[in-house]
Amino acid sequence: MTTSELSTTVRRRDRVAVIDLVGGVNARAEHSLDTAWAEAVRELPDAVVLNFRDAGYINSTGIALIVGLLAKARARGVPIRAYGLTPHYREIFEITRLADFLAINPDEDSAVRGAERSST
Amino acid sequence: MGDVNDRTTENAMDTAAAARDATYWAKAVTRLNVSEVPKGAINLNVTGKQLAGPIQGFGKMWQKTYQVRLPRERVSATDLIATWKQRFPDFWPEGNLFYGPLTGIAPGEVALLNMTLPGGMTLSTGVMVLYADEESFTLMTPQGHMFAGWITFSATERDGETVAQAQVLMRASDPIFELGLTLGGHRQEDLFWSHTLREVAAHFGEAADVDTQVVCVDKRRQWSRWSNVWHSSAIRSAGYMLGAPIRGARDLARRGRTPD
């Protein structure tokens, strides 16, 4: 399936790192996600928030990559949250049971606030 | 300006892909249900179970990738996946049975697995088709399976070759399976998927070597998940097999009481 390459940017909101995901999350997204993760945790944030608002298509390989991020976050003891998921992808996160480990918020403010709370 | 146009085109492609996407993913299920049990299959440890992904398992998290390369002129990626879906059980090692749904590998369908373990015990479990498109499909395990995770089968075209791949992302479900994996289970699994990929290649007339890559994604065990052992398909399958003589005697007695 052809979708656009994933591009990522990392922003800071206080002590929380926000990773903006733009484009498809699939096998070709691995390098971009790894780079963003390395940058996000470089300054030892209290938490990391994934912004899926502009993420396009997510396939099962993309979900596996997100699981990889969860494992890295767990190894570092960094809470991880998400927002901007469409109802369809919220459902996918429920089916794959990612939602058991990744808090899903309706917007960035609540994700950042939740991340701050969960890290204290 | 060109960048803006490129971005607009990419966004349109993503929107179209997202619209198609709904048909590729399974719908939400709380507990698995086997609609039809094929003749000869043991339906155990599947009905009523929840799905379990790699983060619900107990053991270390592993990503295992098995690949074979075929000449592109022999088969395209989409044709390879179509064949793999259609003939999925044919490529498995002998003694391991995959009872797929009659409708084939499609999102949301549940398949039963009857696997022969060392010692001759039959382990009964299953998988659900989590995702399926023209270039890949993913199976996810239920509670009690040997491992909690998913396996993605895919094909891509690179440098004049079609690369067929099976990628497993998993944790052992419980402490007993974790011990089993450490004591040779990982090797058995590597042999299993290597065999499968060699058979896929052989189907297209290629005697291909299998490239295996194993990465430990998370070295820590999730001790809070030790109680997954309650669902263990190995223990429940063993109980089922041990109960076979009693079930047989009961059936005979029932038949004896039934008038001709």
Tens digits of residue pLDDT in B198-223: 999 999 999 999 999 998 988 889 89
Residue in A23, A57, A71 nearest the CB of B217? A71
Tokens at residue B204, please? 């297209």
Amino acid residing at B135: E
B41-242 maps to which CATH number?
Answer: 3.30.530.20
Residues B84-123 have pLDDT tens digits of: 999 999 999 998 888 887 778 899 888 888 888 777 778 8
Residue-averaged pLDDT of chain A: 88
Best of A22, A53, A92, A96 to disrupt the B interface (most B CBs within 10 Å) is A96
Q: Which H/E stretch holds residue B94?
A: none
Distance (Å) of CA B140 to CA A95, B56, B76, B125, B179:
10, 12, 26, 12, 22
ipTM score assigned to the predicted complex: 0.72
The whole-number pLDDT of residue B1 equals 52
The whole-number pLDDT of residue B30 equals 83
Least confident of A114-118, B144-148, B206-210, B236-240: A114-118
Q: How many CB atoms lie within 10 A of CB B103?
A: 10
Tokens at residue B99, please? 């009872």
Report domain extents, chain B.
Answer: 41-242
Residue B4: pLDDT band with limits 50, 70, 90: low
Chain B nearest-CA distance from A95, in A, is: 5
CB distance A60–B14 less than 8 Å?
Answer: no
SS (H, E, C) B103-131: CCCCCCCEEEEEEECCCCCEEEEEEEEEE
Instruction: Express the helix, strand and coil content of chain B in percent, nearest 5 each.
Output: 40, 30, 35
Residue-averaged pLDDT of chain B: 86
At residue B189's C-alpha, the angle toward residues B183 and B192, to 5°, is 140
CB distance B150–A64 less than 8 Å?
Answer: yes
Is B216 near chain A, with CB under 8 Å?
no
- B134-142 average pLDDT score: 91
Is B133 near chain A, with CB under 8 Å?
yes
CB distance A27–B154 less than 8 Å?
Answer: yes
Torsion over CA: B86, B127, B37, B109 (sign): negative
Torsion over CA: A94, A96, A99, A105 (sign): negative
The whole-number pLDDT of residue B194 equals 97
Least confident of A83-97, B12-26, B38-52: B12-26
CB distance A64–B63 less than 8 Å?
Answer: yes
- B32-57 average pLDDT score: 84
Pick A29 or B43 by higher pLDDT: A29
Residue B129: pLDDT band with limits 50, 70, 90: very high
Residue in B10, B17, B53 nearest the CB of A1? B17
DSSP bridge partners of A16: A13, A47
Is pLDDT of B5 > 80?
Answer: no
Residue in A24, A56, A101 nearest the CB of B55? A101
Is B17 near chain A, with CB under 8 Å?
yes
Residue A59: pLDDT band with limits 50, 70, 90: confident
Chain B nearest-CA distance from A32, in A, is: 17
Least confident of A6-10, A40-44, B216-220: B216-220
Residue in B17, B29, B130 nearest the CB of A24? B17
Q: In the sheet that A80-83 helps form, which strands lie side by side, from edge to edge?
A: A7-13, A16-25, A47-58, A80-83, A103-105
Measured between alpha carbons, how far is A90 from A82 in angstroms, rounded to an integer?
Answer: 10
Is A44 near chain B, with CB under 8 Å?
no
Tokens at residue B23, please? 């048909």
CB distance B133–A1 less than 8 Å?
Answer: yes
Is pLDDT of B19 > 80?
Answer: no
CB distance A95–B152 less than 8 Å?
Answer: no
Residue A2: pLDDT band with limits 50, 70, 90: very low
Is A61 near chain B, with CB under 8 Å?
yes
Question: Residue B238 burial (CB < 10 Å; 0-12/13-18/19+)?
Answer: middle
CB distance A60–B63 less than 8 Å?
Answer: no
Domains of chain A: 7-119 (3.30.750.24)
Is pLDDT of A114 > 50?
Answer: yes
Question: Cβ distance B202 to B182 under 8 Å?
Answer: no
Measured between alpha carbons, how far is A51 from A54 in angstroms, rounded to an integer?
Answer: 8
Least confident of B33-42, B46-55, B62-71, B223-232: B33-42
Measured between alpha carbons, how far is B155 from A17 in angstroms, rounded to an integer?
Answer: 35
Is pLDDT of B13 > 70?
Answer: no
